[in-house]
């Protein structure tokens, strides 16, 4: 019995749409990360990009449980003295709501070259409209 290993050129990719309206951020991010990584497929291979394309719509209407809207902070630091920036979820939601979902999903995939390749298949939109109708994405229910 030989161990099966998927080949990148043999993988069939599919498009999925996740509606984040009134859904918990963690649930949306977990579902998107599993589809992007390909963990829902029987041919999953850890070192190969087996995943599908994921379109997340209504990212501006995603919910956070508890007091995370005010207490959760995103930090960034460029390496210069006094250049650490902090921003609450409420401020990010006003400035660019897609970033909330993107950061949650990015944190759930590997932090290496494969992860950077996988995250390119994630498309997040604040509203209900998206330009990927030609790919005929299937709705994904949480």
At 42, is the pLDDT very low, low, confident or very high (cuts 50, 70, 90)?
very high
- 94-110: average pLDDT: 97
> By mean pLDDT, which of 14-23, 70-79, 114-123 is the weakest?
70-79
DSSP 132: -
- Of the ranges 6-10, 52-56, 122-126, 129-133, which one carries the lowest mean pLDDT score? 6-10
Q: Answer yes or no: is 83 within a domain.
A: no
* Mean pLDDT value of segment 1-8: 88
Considering the domain boundaries, does residue 18 fall inside one? yes
Look up the CATH number of the domain holding residue 33: 3.90.1180.10
21 is in which domain, residue-wise?
Answer: 13-62+97-139
- Say how many domains are in the chain: 1
Would you call 9 exposed, middle or buried from its count of C-beta atoms within 10 A (0-12, 13-18, 19+)? exposed
């Amino acid at each position: 019995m030989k161990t099966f290993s998927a080949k990148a050129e043999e993988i069939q990719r599919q498009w999925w749409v996740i509606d984040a309206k009134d859904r918990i951020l963690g649930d949306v991010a977990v579902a998107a990360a599993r589809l992007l990584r390909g963990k829902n497929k029987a041919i999953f291979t850890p070192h190969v990009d087996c995943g599908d394309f994921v379109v997340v719509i209504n990212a501006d209407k995603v919910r956070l449980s508890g007091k995370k809207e005010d207490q959760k902070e995103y930090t960034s630091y460029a390496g210069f003295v006094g250049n650490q920036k902090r921003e609450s979820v409420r401020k990010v939601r006003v400035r660019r709501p897609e970033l909330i979902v993107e950061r949650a999903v990015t944190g759930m995939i590997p932090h290496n070259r494969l992860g950077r390749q996988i995250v390119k298949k994630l498309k997040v939109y604040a509203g209900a409209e998206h330009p990927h109708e030609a790919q005929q994405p299937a709705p994904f229910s949480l």
